[in-house]
Amino acid sequence: MTNELYDVAIVGGGPAAHSAALYARRKELKTAMVAKEEGGQLLYSSEIDNYLGIPDVEAFDLVKKFREHVDKYEPEKYEDEVLDVEKDENFHLNLNKEGELRSKTLIVATGAKWRKLDVPGEKELSGKGLSYCTTCDGPLFAGADVAVIGGGNSAFEGVIDLLPIANRIVNVDIAPEPIADPVLQKHVKNSDHLDDVELESYYGHEILEILGDDMVTGLRLKDKESGEEKEVEVEGVFVEIGLIPNSSFVDDLVETNDAGEIVVDCDSKTNVEGLYAAGDVTNVPEKQIIIAAGEGAKAALGAYSYLIHQ
Ligand SMILES: Cc1cc2nc3c(=O)[nH]c(=O)nc-3n(C[C@H](O)[C@H](O)[C@H](O)COP(=O)(O)OP(=O)(O)OC[C@H]3O[C@@H](n4cnc5c(N)ncnc54)[C@H](O)[C@@H]3O)c2cc1C
């Protein structure tokens, strides 16, 4: 346990938390940054080419740049996991190793995990033709035959991203029909790109295995109704079945939506006084580094404004 009372405790170590820490320290707030693992999802990414001003950067190098920039302003860092949070006039964070940490305001920037298929081959081929982010990795599959797994909005947005890029797109989902918004479904159906790109759909099909030794070569599917199995050849697989926000440690304190995302307003404020949230853990649409960084900055400025009006 630390006896310090921080102005702001930031939970997370990804782009949202780093940006929040930078802004908080530049306002001279006494800042604690608690992260299980510094870097967040960037630790599982490779090359990043959509962060403005820093083209073609290895994700690891981007994390290093974030860290060096923030360290210049010396927030107090804890490599630890927050297990739960209680609130009276302050926030009391229960840390796995360090015990209690107290703060006047709290910024939750704990990101999300990609929902997995949990089938053989998925783990082994992740980053070897299997990706969880079409927006991020789609351009690497120019002219290729690819599969998009899922029938919701993320999957349809993935198909829309791939239509001008891929040679053939195989869309697979276990549900009997897509649940994406009709506007997205129409967009795909009416796309001019369908003159050049083959679109094959397998609804009501379960994925049994991702095939490939060193790289993805295909999928093994099972028709749920007939039980018939088949193999489909593809060079890339995009698993777009949603994200699981890392919000469970505060879900009895703050409002979350049906997806478990922390609900924030356009000032990154939650329904709890002094509690802000930013990045992939929130209901802000589009889960991207630059968006998380922007939201982190807003959350810190929100916490600062809250403190000076006390
Ligand atoms: C493979 C892959 C490729 C991607 N490629 C791109 C790309 O090219 N461009 C792009 O813009 N985006 C890309 N993304 C998405 C991008 O990485 C995320 O949108 C971004 O990292 C979200 O930042 P965040 O700070 O909200 O959360 P995260 O990066 O998820 O960070 C969350 C942090 O919180 C910590 N944490 C979680 N729970 C706790 C807890 N209870 N206590 C303490 N710490 C906790 C974690 O250890 C981590 O440090 C990619 C994602 C993946 C997985």
In this predicted model, what pLDDT tens digit does every residue of 258-295 receive, in sequence order? 999 999 999 999 999 999 999 999 999 888 999 999 99
Report, at the CATH architecture level, how domain 116-239 is classified. Answer: 3-Layer(bba) Sandwich (3.50)
Q: From CA 59, how far away is CA 111, in angstroms rounded?
A: 16
CATH number given to 5-113+243-308? 3.50.50.60
Predicted pLDDT of residue 181: 87
Q: Look at residues 109, 304, 152, 161 and name the one whose alpha carbon lies nearest to residue 241.
A: 152
Is 5 in a helix, a strand, or coil? strand
Annotated catalytic residues are: 133, 136-137
CA–centroid distance, 212 to ligand 1, in Å, is 27
Tell whether the model's pLDDT for residue 2 goes beyond 80: no
Label residue 1 by pLDDT band (50, 70, 90): low
In percent, the amount of the chain with pLDDT more than 90 equals 90
44 ligand 1 Cβ < 6 A: yes
Q: Measured from the CA of 41, which atom of ligand 1 is nearest?
A: 29
CA 295 / ligand 1 centre spacing (Å) = 13
Please state the atom number of ligand 1 nearest to the C-alpha of residue 110. 34
Is the distance from the beta carbon of residue 34 to the nearest atom of ligand 1 less than 6 Å? yes
236-239 and 145-149 strand pairing: parallel
What's the full length of the chain, in residues? 310
User: Would you state the structure tokens that stand for residue 109, as one six-digit string?
Assistant: 């920037």
- Tell me, using a 6 A CB cutoff, whether residue 93 lines ligand 1: no
Domains 5-113+243-308 and 116-239 share a fold: yes
Q: Which atom of ligand 1 is nearest to the CA of 38?
A: 49
Q: Please give the ipTM for the structure prediction.
A: 0.99
pLDDT digits (tens, 9 = 90+) for 174-202: 999 999 989 999 999 999 999 999 999 99
Angle at 15 between CA 76 and CA 151, to 5 degrees: 140
**277 Cβ closer than 6 Å to some ligand 1 atom:** no
Pocket test for ligand 1, best of 18, 41, 44, 52 (most atoms within 8 A of CB): 41
Query: pLDDT digit string (tens) for 204-261?
Result: 999 999 999 999 999 999 999 999 999 999 999 999 998 899 999 999 999 999 999 9
Distance between Cα 17 and ligand 1 center (Å): 10
Could you tell which of 22, 33, 45, 132 is best to mutate to test the pocket of ligand 1, judged by most ligand atoms within 8 Å of the CB? 45
Per residue in 98-139, pLDDT tens? 999 999 999 999 999 989 999 999 999 999 999 998 988 899
State the CB neighbour count (10 A cutoff) for residue 266: 7
Question: Over the stretch 81-94, which tens digit does the pLDDT of each residue have?
Answer: 999 999 999 999 99
| Radius of gyration (C-alpha) of the chain in whole angstroms | 21
105 CA distance to ligand 1 middle (Å): 22
Q: 136 in ligand 1 pocket by Cβ < 6 Å?
A: yes
Ligand 1 contact, 280 CB (< 6 A): yes
Angle at 127 between CA 124 and CA 129, to 5 degrees: 90
Q: Ligand 1 pocket, 150 CB below 6 A?
A: no
CA of residue 173 to ligand 1 center, whole Å: 26
Please give the pLDDT value at position 47: 79
Range 54-72 average pLDDT: 96
Q: So what's the pLDDT on residue 76? A: 98
- State in Å: Cα 111 to ligand 1 middle: 5
Query: What's the chain's average pLDDT?
Result: 96
Whole-number pLDDT of residue 136? 83
Task: Return the pLDDT at 8.
Answer: 98
Q: Where are the domains of the chain?
A: 5-113+243-308, 116-239
